[in-house]
Amino acid sequence: MSDFSIAIVGGGPAGATLARLLDKRFSVLLIDGKTDSEASFRKVCGGLLSPDAQKAFAEFDLTLPKDIMVDPQIFSVRTIDLNTRTERHYQRFYMNLDRHKFDLWLESLAPPTVTRFFGKCGKISREDGCYKLKCRGNDGTENIFTADIVVGADGAGSAVRKFLYPKKEIRRYTAIQQWFPESHAKPFYSCIFDPKTSDCCSWSISKDSFFIFGGAFAPKNCRKAFEEQKKRLTEYGFKFGTPLKTEACIVLRPKSPFDICTGRDGAFLVGEAAGLISPSSLEGISFAVNSARLLAEVINSGIDDPSKKYAEKILPLKLKILVKIMKCPFMYSPFLRKLVMKSGISSITVRERD
C-alpha cells in the first residue's frame, strides 16, 4: 500500500495547478523546496504573464492579487536586431509580475488536504507496482515516499523525465539573467536578436526599481556570449552597471512536437518537464497551467488508461507548439527577420516626446 495516491514533484505553475485541481478523494503529496524565505529557490524568469496564461486564469475564474504585480505595466516591446541595428515596437498585452510571489500564491491555492513536503526529490524508482521517491528535506532530513502515480512538474531539468525517458534528448539552452538598479530614463521592455552571440533571443524588463537583462545561450561558453552581448548592447545605449544578482537555469526549446513527452505507466509529465514551452518566445506559464488542467481532468475522471487519454488531450498544446516552431524562421532567420522588421508589419509607431 502506497503512502499517497499521487506524488507531484515540483510546485511551479504546473505542479501547483495540478495540486489545486485534483479531486479531494486522492491523497496528494506536493514536493518542492520553495518558501517565502530570502534564501529560497527562485525560478529564473521574466515574470511576464501572456494573454494565453491570462485566459487560462480567466477560465478558472481566478483573479490575481495586487501584491503580485510589479511596477510598471508596459504595453509595447522594443524589438532590436543588433545585426542590422533595426528596431521596431510591437504592441504586447503581458502583465508584469513578481514571479516568486506568483509561484507562492499559486501554491497557496492548493487545498489543505494536499500534503506539502519542503525539499527536493532525488531518486525515483518503481518497486512493487508503485513509485518510490527518495527526497531530501530543506532541513537536511532524508525521506522516502511511495505513490501509485507520480507526476513530473519539475521543470526543464526534470528528474522524472530523465527517469522515464533516459535516452530522449531535447534542445536546451542556458538562460542567464542579471538584475541591475534601473538607470534608464524610461522603463521599457525589449526583445533582442543578436546572431553573433546566440541563435535564440534575449530580453530586458524593468521591474520595480530594477532593470533585468537576460538571454538564452548555447550552453558552451554561455557566460562569454552573455557578456559579449551586454557589451554590444552598451554600445547600442543600454545601461547596465554593476549587477546586483546573476541567476542562471536550463531552458528547453522544442524543435518538434515529438520532443514533447507526456509519460507512461502511471507516471506523467506536465509543463516544461514535458517539453511544453514556446520555442519562439520561451513563454511557458500558459503551457504549464493548461497541461496541469488537462492531466487533472484525466486523473479525476478515473479512466482506465489515463496515459493514453492524457496524450490525446495534450494534442492541441502540441499543435500550438508546432505553430510556434513554424513561426521561428520569421523571428530567428536573420534574412526573414530583416524582411519582417523592415516591412513594419504589425509594428506600432512610438512617438517620443521631448
Ligand X SMILES: Cc1cc2nc3c(=O)[nH]c(=O)nc-3n(C[C@H](O)[C@H](O)[C@H](O)COP(=O)(O)OP(=O)(O)OC[C@H]3O[C@@H](n4cnc5c(N)ncnc54)[C@H](O)[C@@H]3O)c2cc1C
How many Cβ atoms from other residues are within 10 Å of residue 237's Cβ? 8
Q: Grid coordinates standing for 127?
A: 518497486
The span from the CA of 147 to the CA of 218, in Å, is 37
Q: Residue 164: what are its φ and ψ, rounded to 5°? A: -80, -35
Contact set for ligand X, span 277-336 (CB under 6 A): 277, 282-285, 288
Q: Minimal CA–CA distance to 18: which of 28, 3, 4, 33?
A: 28
**Amino acid found at 352:** E
Minimum distance from residue 101 beta carbon to ligand X (Å): 13
Whether the link from the prior residue into 316 is cis, omega within 30° of 0, is: no
| Position among 174, 177, 178, 206 found at the interface with ligand X (CB under 6 A) | 177
Q: Minimal CA–CA distance to 21: which of 261, 293, 215?
A: 293
| Position among 69, 218, 249, 322 found at the interface with ligand X (CB under 6 A) | 249
Q: Residue 170: what are its φ and ψ, rounded to 5°? A: -135, 140
| Position among 271, 275, 279, 306 found at the interface with ligand X (CB under 6 A) | 271
| Position among 81, 194, 259, 272 found at the interface with ligand X (CB under 6 A) | 272
| Position among 3, 5, 23, 43 found at the interface with ligand X (CB under 6 A) | 43
Contact set for ligand X, span 80-139 (CB under 6 A): 120-121
Minimum distance from residue 250 beta carbon to ligand X (Å): 8
Helical H segments across 28-126, by residue range:
51-59, 99-108
Minimum distance from residue 49 beta carbon to ligand X (Å): 7
Answer yes or no whether residue 152 interacts with ligand X by CB under 6 A. Answer: no
Residues that bind ligand X (CB under 6 A): 9-15, 31-34, 41, 43-48, 50, 53, 120-121, 153-155, 159, 175, 177, 214, 249, 251, 271-273, 277, 282-285, 288
